[in-house]
Amino acid sequence: MVTLYLTHHACVEHDTGDFHPECADRLRAVQRVLEGEEFMLLHRQDAPPADREQLMRAHPESYVDRILGMVPGSGLRHIDMDTVMCPESGEAALRAAGAVVGAVDAVMTGGARNAFCAVRPPGHHAEIAQAMGFCLFNNVAVGALHARAVHGVQRIAVFDWDVHHGNGTQDIFQADPGLFYASTHEAGNFPNTGFSHERGVADNILNCPLPPGSTGDVFRSAVETAIEPAMRAFQPELVMISAGFDAHAHDPLAHMRLTVADYIWATQRMLAVADDLCSGRLVSVLEGGYDLPALAGCVRGHVRALMGV
């Protein structure tokens, strides 16, 4: 069984302007590293575009229309200080969400054991009806809800190890006991949500804020003592990862001290959960990560772990 890699050139053409940390060079760095010979056995697929029905499982129709209607004909349009659109951003956003739909289809039908979606704009800050934090549509949530609607998956668990709390995914998941969201993130960083008392309707939200400056042993302890046991207790039929790599020690937007080895370890923990509970079905989706060499190194280790090499 293979690992599937989905990406799309439109995701590179999503232009956020000069000096924006969430820049096209991020995805170029990821794509370049995954072109290496060591990834020859990766199966590759162009991300399909998400359709309206797929987006509307996570967002109301009025929001989908509003976002797609805001795509500028030329130049850049700021949704807020951080969140920017260019003429190609609509297509990029559809491909980013569609990549996760395609990945879910592949792992649910046996076309792949697991999958990595190299996409931008990222998704985990996009709430039910609010774009923010570089995110337009919630890619992971669109994929999770597609798994339920089309493949009959009743229980889906997401581990979000991006250094920022995925307020958007929590917003979409928290009232639904069939969806589980767990997050490690830097306390006090953007968007300043994700407190441990936020538990969801059925303890289906698990937030593990970590102190700024935390090293890998603090992160690993949170995974071992809280995240992994809760995910196993939830008994998911599909495991998903919101794979941001901005808790790396070199990242300019945060103050954590993780290394490539920590991300490889966490990937292996999630693979073990998926192997034990749902035949290895796991879909990983790129979120943040803003130091280009660190991002490329983390993705290399993460995808090698997914491939089992």
Positions marked active-site: 125
Contact 126, 45 (CB under 8 A): no
- Cβ neighbours for 279, distance < 8 A, ≥ 6 positions apart: none
Closest to 116 in 3D by CA, of 47, 24, 21? 47
In whole angstroms, the minimum distance from the beta carbon of 134 to Zn ion comes to 8
Contact 224, 217 (CB under 8 A): no
**Which one, 3 or 83, has the nearer CB to Zn ion?**
83
Binding of Zn ion by 82 (CB under 5 A): no
Return d(Cα 157, Cα 138) in angstroms, integer. 15
In whole angstroms, the minimum distance from the beta carbon of 20 to Zn ion comes to 14
Q: Which of 244, 280, 297, 301 binds Zn ion (CB under 5 A)?
A: 244
Burial class (CB in 10 A: 0-12, 13-18, 19+), 39: middle
Binding of Zn ion by 209 (CB under 5 A): no
Strand, coil or helix: 183: strand
Report residue 212 as tokens: 């700024």
In whole angstroms, the minimum distance from the beta carbon of 174 to Zn ion comes to 20
Binding of Zn ion by 291 (CB under 5 A): no
In whole angstroms, the minimum distance from the beta carbon of 8 to Zn ion comes to 21
Strand, coil or helix: 207: strand
Pick the piece of the chain touching Zn ion (CB under 5 A) from 14-22, 74-82, 164-172, 267-275.
164-172
Q: Which of 237, 246, 251, 262 binds Zn ion (CB under 5 A)?
A: 246
Report residue 301 as tokens: 């280790």
| Residues of this chain, 143-162, that bind Zn ion according to CB under 5 A | 162
Q: Which of 14, 113, 120, 164 binds Zn ion (CB under 5 A)?
A: 164
> Taking CB positions, which residue lies at the least distance from Zn ion?
288
Q: Which of 288, 300, 302, 305 binds Zn ion (CB under 5 A)?
A: 288
Report residue 96 as tokens: 């980013």
Residues forming contacts to Zn ion in the complex (CB under 5 A) are 162, 164, 244, 246, 288
